[in-house]
Structure 1
Amino acid sequence: MILVVCGPPGAGKTTIATAVRDRLEARDESVPVRLHHSDDFSSRTYEQLFERARDDHREALTIVDGTFYEREWQTQFRTLGFREEIRFVTVTASLETCLERNRTRAEPIEEQGVHVVYREFDAPEDALEIDTDETSVGDAVDRIVGALESWGWLTDRAE
């Protein structure tokens, strides 16, 4: 399964994606988890995320963290397998929260970029939505792990 954690810059995607990976690894070391962050690539970001996810999603839960604000990037990931193998989590926050968090990053992106992605973000259909203005990281991780269980991924792997 591929879990795509998407949303505007500063919404909390990387924090939540990393916490989900850590929770799953602590819960069951036999469950392989791969995590790919869009920030790890300086060019061809979505092509490289696509290649990494395609290469390892059959053997592991693959978590992909990126804005995915354009529908075409979401569609590209949906082509990796059957629709039920790709799940999206949309992480949101107010524009003010996103800007504030961006300012505290070690390498902030230009504020105009935050505004553009925030304004143009096209949320995926059927996504689990998490508003980090209202939800703590721990609660967000609980919701995602619960969703993974309800989707049958964790149950199927444990058998």
Structure 2
Amino acid sequence: MISPEYCLLMARYNRWQNAELLKSLESMTDADLRADRGAFFGSIFRTVNHLLWGDTLWISRFDGGMGPAETDLTKTDTTDTTKTLAEWSTERFRTDARFVAWAKGVTHLDLTGDLTWFSGAIQADISKPRAMCVVQMFNHQTHHRGQVHAMLGAADAPMYTTDIPFLPE
């Protein structure tokens, strides 16, 4: 299904996209970042916080490091991970480095078998193929960054390319 090379490519892509995203976020006022833009999580800032929360949760399932507690997600706010853009930027940088470090060590064996975890979304244990879960982790990032990219465009913030072929070496 996927390979270690795919994991490294996507981890590098994620880091690059988040660095480009930060440039756009830094051009905006705090009020603009927090304005309700009609998206699923409301604002740009709430959406990037949810993305950071989800990334930390998913990578903890693969690298065994710290992640947010898996509680009842119907009662947990996943959009208040950080309080300021500076704090978000610091945590984003750390998390992106964590993704790349994990991906550099991934082997074909790491992508086989099932991953089992307690799902806060359904309040039960769940098992799914590890490779599929890795794809989900990277797909979740792309999905929410796409939402943010659309909100940035609507807010006349600086835009950037999202195309993988332009990923810097």
User: TM-score, normalized by length of structure 2?
Assistant: 0.29
Comparing both structures, which one devotes a greater share of its residues to helix?
A: 2
Comparing both structures, which one devotes a greater share of its residues to strand?
A: 1
User: TM-score, normalized by length of structure 1?
Assistant: 0.30
Greater radius of gyration (CA): 2
